[in-house]
Amino acid sequence: MRAALTEAAAARATGDVPIGAVVLGPDRRILARGRNVREADGDPTGHAEVVALRAAAREVGEWRLSGCTLVVTLEPCTMCAGAAVLARVDRIVFAAWDEKGGAVGSLWDVVRDRRLNHRPEVVTGVMAAESARLLEEFFAEQR
């Protein structure tokens, strides 16, 4: 999670919401890193999770990320939760809950929907205070 928080902090430099992600391989080695780049790249899909999942797929040479763990500083939205399911990650670990747009248990629960063919394990609350603090500082500056 510390690596994901480092990515989140770097997103602030481009005016992006400070959300960071890493993908760990089956051996727990960091395969890929990502941070929000929506503002930096003008890309509506430039969420930290999508950036990290794309980079991890390039690293392993295929889209299936079986055995991998997605670690992210904020509960994934519907797009990112769906991407994690489609990438077949084994586990999603996130820090802070997103009561307004989260799709891994708060507002929606995409990853546990029995109609889907893959359901990753979910671990929550890892370094949640640190992640929430980054987000609170960012949005306080925006006001």
Has 47 been labeled as part of a binding site?
yes
Per the annotation, does 77 bind a ligand?
Answer: yes
Name the catalytic one among 39, 49, 75, 121: 49
CB atoms within 10 A of CB 75: 27
Q: Does the annotation mark 49 as catalytic?
A: yes
Q: Is 68 annotated as a binding residue?
A: no
Residues tagged in the binding site annotation? 47, 77, 80
Active site residues: 49
Residues tagged in the binding site annotation for Zn(2+)? 47, 77, 80
